[in-house]
């Protein structure tokens, strides 16, 4: 499995407020980004996997909504998470 408890804990310590705080926007965006990168690699190998493609598009949309929410609430946190995760905008 690509998202083990240790990997999730590492992601949340880097980008979230704490390891137990899975509800923060930064933590969720970082987890979505990790999953998107994994599914993108899968799609490069399996081009005809339409279920994975649909999941990937859905995750990108969810991450976009969270980024828009964070942009409205706190622009400095938004810019910081974009810089940390190397996301374009």
CA 56 from chain centre, in angstroms, equals: 11
Residue 10 CB partners (closer than 8 Å, separation 6+):
none
pLDDT of residue 6: 92
Q: Looking at residue 19, what is its pLDDT?
A: 78
| Alpha-carbon gap, residue 82 to 44, rounded angstroms | 24
Ordered by start, the domain boundaries in the chain are 5-85
Assigned token pair, 11: 């992601």
pLDDT-derived band at 79 (thresholds 50, 70, 90) equals very high
Q: What is the pLDDT of residue 39?
A: 95
Measure the N-to-C terminal CA separation of the chain; round to a whole number of Å.
30
Domain 5-85, what architecture? Orthogonal Bundle (1.10)
pLDDT band for position 21 (cuts 50, 70, 90): confident
**Residue 28 CB contacts under 8 Å (≥ 6 apart), including other chains:** 22, 66
pLDDT in tens, 22-39: 888 999 999 999 999 999
């Amino acid at each position: 499995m690509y998202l083990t408890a240790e990997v999730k804990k590492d992601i949340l310590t880097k980008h979230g407020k704490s390891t137990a705080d899975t509800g923060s926007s930064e933590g969720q965006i970082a987890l979505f980004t990790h999953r998107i990168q994994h599914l993108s690699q899968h799609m490069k190998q399996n081009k005809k996997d339409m279920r994975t493609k649909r999941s990937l598009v859905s995750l990108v949309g969810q991450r976009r909504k969270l980024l828009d929410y964070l942009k409205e609430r706190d622009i400095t946190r938004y810019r910081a998470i974009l810089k940390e995760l190397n996301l374009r905008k």
